[in-house]
Structure 1
């Protein structure tokens, strides 16, 4: 039985006689019907089902859009800018090896000057003195992303600095070019490890899109000395 008003959250001041009559009305209530009454305190309407409680609203399940189709990656063809301008430095925080070499080669292919960092302290120290335009993080470098001190640092960056950084997460569980996933992780791009051989093509597609979206705003901020 309902004991508090759903609107004002105050206890319902029913007498024993009123409760008995209410219970009798609920017993006689036809299945699927609702009993209407008013709160004695706030006078808002209250609807009760046969159990004596307000009917439950059905849960709303929103289906997110699927990851993008990446068939075009296999062809190695993308109609876009051949080289990204005005992106002087990129920081790669990734374990040394073949994957990191591929990342560095891809970044250099689109015009970045690349600095490789082996540890989080090394990367953070370098960020103190260099305004990197692109930062790449291996998601499992510190166990998992939720435990990553570097990822936490990136998420906590003030917007007057963060908005100028193209933040890229790489891991075996990510979906390449899935913008909704990148947004959920406070990044600009997620790339599956299996797609690293196509990273230069992915960058040629994603960075111009990023600049098209944020470029005008950044130019206006620069004009007002907000850089």
Structure 2
């Protein structure tokens, strides 16, 4: 039996006779029906079901929005900007294979000077001396994000440096251009490896969109000497 008002949280005390009559009334309730009581403290109406408790309201599970449609990729219609400005150097952490060549070609096509790294240690060493504007990391290089030393480093970068890096994660389990997934992974862009053939178009769409969203903020931070 309810012992506290769910509105004012004051204790509810019933005499033996009141409790007996209340229990009898609850037994006679039909399915889905409630018995209304008035709190003696706050005077709010309290509804009770057959269990003697307020009816439980079903909790709706939070369903994230689906990944975006990629139909435009296959049409080849999206052109966007021909070159990306102010992003001269990119670092690619990926094993040497055909996929890495696709990544290199796509980055060069949108104006990056590309540097390759085949190990996390090599990538971290390069980052000590070069301020890369874009970093591409295949998440399987270190057995997934949870175990990755490199990804942990990216997540722990000082914000004045991290905000100047467009961080791209690649995997056959990620969803291309899924902003919510990128946010959850502390990245700026996620790309499924099956879409690497369209990477140049993806970059032409994603990077200008990022600059449009954050460009003014970054300019103000730079103006105040807080890049």
TM-score when normalising by structure 2: 0.86
Question: Which deviations, in whole Å up to 9, do the C-alpha atoms of 1:141-167 show, x marking residues without a partner?
Answer: 222223323223322333322221111
Residue 114 in structure 1 maps to residue 121 in structure 2: no
Say how many residue pairs are matched. Answer: 227
Q: Mark the runs of 5 or more structure 2 residues left unpaired by the alignment.
A: none
Match of 2:94 in 1: 94
Q: Distance in 1 between matches of 2:226 and 2:154?
A: 20
Match of 2:23 in 1: 23
Match of 2:163 in 1: 163
* Maintained 8 Å contact 1:77/1:201: no
Q: Distance in 2 between matches of 1:90 and 1:79?
A: 21
Match of 2:216 in 1: 216
The 3 A distance-change label for structure 1 pair 38 and 110 is same
Match of 1:129 in 2: 129
1:47 alignment partner, SS class: strand
2:29 alignment partner, SS class: coil
Which segment drifts farther, 62-71 or 198-207? 62-71
Q: Distance in 2 between matches of 1:225 and 1:192?
A: 37
1:141 alignment partner, SS class: helix
Match of 2:183 in 1: 183
Match of 2:32 in 1: 32
Match of 2:78 in 1: 78
* Maintained 8 Å contact 2:79/2:201: no
* Maintained 8 Å contact 1:96/1:118: yes
Question: Which deviations, in whole Å up to 9, do the C-alpha atoms of 1:171-217 show, x marking residues without a partner?
Answer: 10122122222222222111110111111111111111111111111
The 3 A distance-change label for structure 1 pair 128 and 3 is farther
- Two-structure CA RMSD over aligned residues (Å): 2.4
Match of 2:145 in 1: 145
* Maintained 8 Å contact 2:176/2:195: yes
TM-score when normalising by structure 1: 0.86
Q: Distance in 2 between matches of 1:110 and 1:147?
A: 31
The 3 A distance-change label for structure 1 pair 3 and 125 is farther
1:19 alignment partner, SS class: helix
The 3 A distance-change label for structure 1 pair 182 and 37 is same
Q: Distance in 1 between matches of 2:11 and 2:142?
A: 51
* Maintained 8 Å contact 2:84/2:110: yes
Which segment drifts farther, 60-69 or 35-44? 35-44
Q: Distance in 2 between matches of 1:152 and 1:18?
A: 62
Match of 1:49 in 2: 49
